[in-house]
Structure formats: C-alpha cells, structure tokens
Amino acid sequence: MTLSFPATRLRRTRTHEWSRRLHRETVLTPADLIWPMFVIEGEREEQPVGSLPGVSRWSVDLLLDRVGEAIELGIPCVSLFPNTPAERRSDAAEEAWNPDNLICRAVRAIRDRFGDGIGVMCDVALDPYTSHGHDGLLDDAGYVTNDATLDALVKQSLNQAAAGADVIAPSDMMDGRVAAIRQALEGEGYVNVQIMSYAAKYASAFYGPFRDAVGSGDRLKGDKRTYQLDAGNSDEAMREIALDIAEGADSVMVKPGLAYLDIIRMARDRFDVPIFAYQVSGEYALLEAGVAAGVGEREPLVMEKLMAFKRAGCAGILTYYAPYAARLLAG
Ligand code: PBG
C-alpha cells in the first residue's frame, strides 16, 4: 500500500505551545547557572567594565548586594575574580597567598552575611597577581615553569579554602595541579572543598574583555600557548579531562563554550563526571555587540546559546548572563 500521507509527522507535537513544552528534551533553570563576578578595592565602588557592557567590578560591600540578588534568583554559585591593585602584583605573585587579599576578604564577607546559602567558587591561577599577567611563574628565559608554579597554586588554593571557598577552580593549565591541590586540601582537613578544574581550557582569542576586567591584559607579555590547549585539538582535551578526573577533580570545565560545543559533547559521552562550560567574556561581548547592532533581540539570542550548552551535555554554565537569564527563567 502506498501512503497518501507522511508516515511520520514530526510537526504534530510542535503544533501547540503546551505540546512543545511537554516534548522539550532539555530544560534550563536558574540552578544551572554560575555567576562570575569581578571584585575591586574600595567602598561603595562600582566600575563598569568598558569591554563588557552591563558588567561591573564591585567593591566587597556592593558585591554582597549582588550575591544577595543571586540567592533570590536561585543561582546556586558565584565565581569571584579580583582586580588586584598594581602595587600588589609581583613576579612571584605573593599576594595570591596573602590571607587578607581582596578575594579572601570577599569570601569571608559572603560567608559572614549568607552562611552556606550560596556556593563560592574561587579561580586558581596567578594572573591576577603577577606583574607579567601569566598564570604561572616565569623562569629566566621567560617560560612559564610548571613545577614551581604548582607550589604557588597550592598555597593560593589553601589560602582560599581557609577563607571559606567551597569550590577551588584551577584555570592555570599546569600539569599535575589537580593532584597537588587535592593532596594539600586533604592534608589540611578541607576534605569537602570541591575542585572544579578548567580541564579543557583553550588558548583563545575570546578572553580579551576578561583580561581587561581583572587588569592583566595590558601587562601580558606574549600569549598563553605554552600551557593552554591548541584550538585544533580534541583528543588532547580528552586526555586533559581524564587526567584531571584521575587526579581528583569533582567536576571539569570546557572553556570557551560556544566554539567548543563538540568538546563538551565528546566529554559527556566518555566521562561520567559533571561538565561545566564557561561562556567567556568575548562570547558575551560579541553577543552584546550583535544586539547593539540590531542583529536580533537579546532574550532569544541569549537563551538559545545557553540552551545549546545544556543540550551539548553540560551540568551547568558559567555566564555573565546568569542574573539576566535567571530573571527570565523565573518568569
Ligand atoms: C585566568 C582566567 C581567564 C579566564 C578565566 N580565568 C583568562 C585567561 O586565561 O587568560 C577567562 C574568562 C573570560 O574570558 O570570561 N586564568
């Protein structure tokens, strides 16, 4: 018998909004979002980041208001990045393990005000503290040394854990950092402090506005290609992720997000570990530039991209759109 109609009408379930909602395979909720925030010295100080429209650096007192907002919106975790004053940056990055540094004061203030009402994640890498803007320590030839940097990252991590950080997020891409940090945390009794490793972090052109926000961009000599992944590689990204899991990472990150959705999907299919994506500063800035240029409306553009991360297999997304998206999702 020849059919006089299409045997399968996939459009049938798309006919009504209730049905589209019922059949949606992937959902986005505020609980999927981590809000990255920039911190500066001072009081009642808000500095808009020129290259990231709508994003500001906040002094600790104002940061607390933003964290309160995150809690109201149902955002489970914030990620903190300091803009360290120039006089506190050095070649050896000692400020990274100063117990009174800006990040530690911010973490303690959040803890004091909100208890464990929200997760606090801290980046581990030396770039906010080095005079040269690299994530690690340089040798005489200007190469970012691995093993000497590990000692510094361990000190930085313990300092943040002591201040009350819940999640240590190494973004430096040194070999062996997750094992070194995990061992040190266990040794000091921080058994429940999580490690979310930036496992597949690419040497990317999309980090420019972030470097501007933390004040490392103008300082940076050269690039980060001797430690961050090459954009052409995916097998190597899987090796990085496998190693970080073996070394004790609780969750892993792929970064940037949109240009690396294939990496997220590959990792999701291979590893039973929560995977996060970082929708980085350049992705945000490009989208905002597109909206300003009249390419389309912000809401559908932003939500489609965030959905793509979830569909690719992410447990959650670090995004500067976290408050914007959470507000929309709340209806
Ligand atoms: C620091 C770090 C970077 C980002 C997060 N942590 C920049 C870099 O590696 O140069 C980028 C985040 C963004 O662009 O939003 N190592």
Q: What is the pLDDT of residue 37?
A: 98
How far apart are the CA of 211 and the centre of ligand 1, in A? 7
Rounded distance between C-alpha atoms, residue 331 and residue 326, angstroms:
9
Task: Give the pLDDT band of residue 1 (cuts 50, 70, 90).
Answer: low
Q: What is the set of domains in the chain, with CATH numbers?
A: 28-329 (3.20.20.70)
pTM over 0.95? The answer is: yes
Q: Whose CA is nearest to atom 7 of ligand 1?
A: 207
How far apart are the CA of 319 and the centre of ligand 1, in A? 12
Task: Give the pLDDT band of residue 221 (cuts 50, 70, 90).
Answer: confident
Q: What residues flank ligand 1, with Cβ below 6 Å?
A: 123, 125, 127, 135, 171, 207, 210-211, 224, 280-281
In this structure, are residues 202 and 171 in contact, taking their beta carbons and an 8 Å threshold? no
Rounded distance between C-alpha atoms, residue 314 and residue 319, angstroms:
13
Model pLDDT for residues 112-170, shown as the tens digit of each residue: 999 999 999 999 999 999 999 999 999 999 999 999 999 999 999 999 999 999 999 99
- The DSSP 8-state label assigned to residue 314 in this structure reads -
In this structure, are residues 46 and 275 in contact, taking their beta carbons and an 8 Å threshold? no
Model pLDDT for residues 274-299, shown as the tens digit of each residue: 999 999 999 999 999 999 999 999 99
**Coil, strand or helix: which one is 161?**
helix
Q: Please identify every residue annotated as catalytic.
A: 201, 255
CB-based contacts of 209: which residues, under 8 Å, 6+ apart?
A: 49, 51, 52, 281, 282, 284, 285
Q: Which atom of ligand 1 is nearest to the CA of 201?
A: 9
CA distances to 101, 198, 300 from 57, rounded to whole Å, are 16, 23, 26
Residue 261 sits at the vertex; the CA angle it makes with 321 and 220, to the nearest 5 degrees, is: 65
How far apart are the CA of 125 and the centre of ligand 1, in A? 9
Q: What is the mean pLDDT of residues 236-246?
A: 98
Q: What is the pLDDT of residue 331?
A: 77
| Ligand 1 mutation target, pool 134, 156, 210, most atoms within 8 A of CB | 210
Q: What is the mean pLDDT of residues 304-311?
A: 98
Q: What is the pLDDT of residue 3?
A: 77
263: pLDDT strictly greater than 70: yes
Structure tokens at 13: 């379930």
In this structure, are residues 38 and 214 in contact, taking their beta carbons and an 8 Å threshold? yes
How far apart are the CA of 190 and the centre of ligand 1, in A? 25
Q: What is the pLDDT of residue 190?
A: 98
* Average pLDDT of the chain to the nearest whole number: 97
104: pLDDT strictly greater than 80: yes
Q: Position of tokens 């969750």?
A: 251
Q: Which atom of ligand 1 is nearest to the CA of 172?
A: 16
What percent of the chain stands above pLDDT 70? 100
Model pLDDT for residues 15-65, shown as the tens digit of each residue: 999 999 999 999 999 999 999 999 999 999 999 999 999 999 999 999 999
Task: Give the pLDDT band of residue 2 (cuts 50, 70, 90).
Answer: confident
The ipTM value here is 0.97
What percent of the chain stands above pLDDT 90? 97
Q: Which atom of ligand 1 is nearest to the CA of 171?
A: 16
